[in-house]
Amino acid sequence: RKEVEQDPGPFNVPEGATVAFNCTYSNSASQSFFWYRQDCRKEPKLLMSVYSSGNEDGRFTAQLNRASQYISLLIRDSKLSDSATYLCVVRENYGQNFVFGPGTRLSVLP
Amino acid sequence: EAGVTQSPTHLIKTRGQQATLRCSPISGHTSVYWYQQALGLGLQFLLWYDEGEERNRGNFPPRFSGRQFPNYSSELNVNALELEDSALYLCASGGPGGETQYFGPGTRLLVL
């Protein structure tokens, strides 16, 4: 089983739609969780960290369920500019490296 | 504040040659991470340097090596290049505590 798994995608949604990304991780000792976005042929950029209480940044909401080892990202009112690959990232603790999921590609259609 | 910089942006080599890629972290960051991203694939962790020392290594052969300099910049060396080494090589830097990492634009390596 891979350490971090994500929905295989791609997701093709119309503008204004709500889209949810799912991610599961295998290491129950993981402590830090993030969502990154990567545009085509560009470097990944940090979208948001994910906290146990859940957190929101504008149209983006991230949730963490430690018991289920599951992380989610919800995008509301999707824009054309949201089209990208969304990467789930997990880290056990400071002494360990970051583990990236394979990513889920999103295309927001006009 | 300047972000993570990488050089060169593109590199073309032939099989068997050596490639050297460079990365300068964000000022104040002490950690540098190297990743390989082959076309259409996810990021594969290569190496992590912090305070001048190698902290962790991914599942890559020994011909992938690197170092971190006293100014925290880093170099990735790939010896005996193979065709499958063609990829985007990304460097990321992390601050003290290393809670998050920020990526540079990458070096595209093409091995012919």
Q: For B100-110, what is the mean pLDDT? A: 94
Mutate to test the interface with A, among B32, B100, B102, B108 (most CBs of A within 10 A): B100
Tell me the shortest Cα–Cα distance from A78 to chain B, in angstroms: 24
Residues of chain A short of pLDDT 70, as ranges, are 1, 94-95
Give the number of beta-carbon pairs within 8 Å between A and B.
Answer: 42
Q: Tell me the pLDDT tens digit for each residue of B70-97.
A: 999 999 999 999 999 999 999 999 876 6
What pLDDT is stored for residue B78 in this prediction? 98
Closest residue in chain B to residue A86, using alpha carbons only = B42
Strands A60-65 vs A55-57: parallel, antiparallel or unpaired: antiparallel
Q: Could you identify the residue written with the tokens 């949810």?
A: A20
CB-based burial of residue A95 (10 Å sphere; 0-12 exposed, 13-18 middle, 19+ buried)?
A: exposed
Question: Which of B48, B45, B29, B28 is closest to B37 using CA atoms?
Answer: B45
| Structural tokens at position A29 | 């000792």
Which of B45, B55, B90 is the closest to A43 by Cβ? B90
Q: How many CB atoms lie within 10 A of CB A106?
A: 20
Which of A49, A96, A101 is the closest to B42 by Cβ? A101
* Range 15-54 of B in CB contact (< 8 A) with A: 33, 35, 41-43, 45, 48
Q: Tell me the pLDDT tens digit for each residue of A52-76.
A: 888 999 999 999 999 999 999 999 9
Average pLDDT over all residues of chain B: 93
CB-based burial of residue B61 (10 Å sphere; 0-12 exposed, 13-18 middle, 19+ buried)?
A: exposed
What pLDDT is stored for residue A95 in this prediction? 63
Check if the beta carbon of residue B43 is closer than 8 Å to that of residue B91: no
Is the preceding omega at residue A110 within 30 degrees of 0, hence cis? no
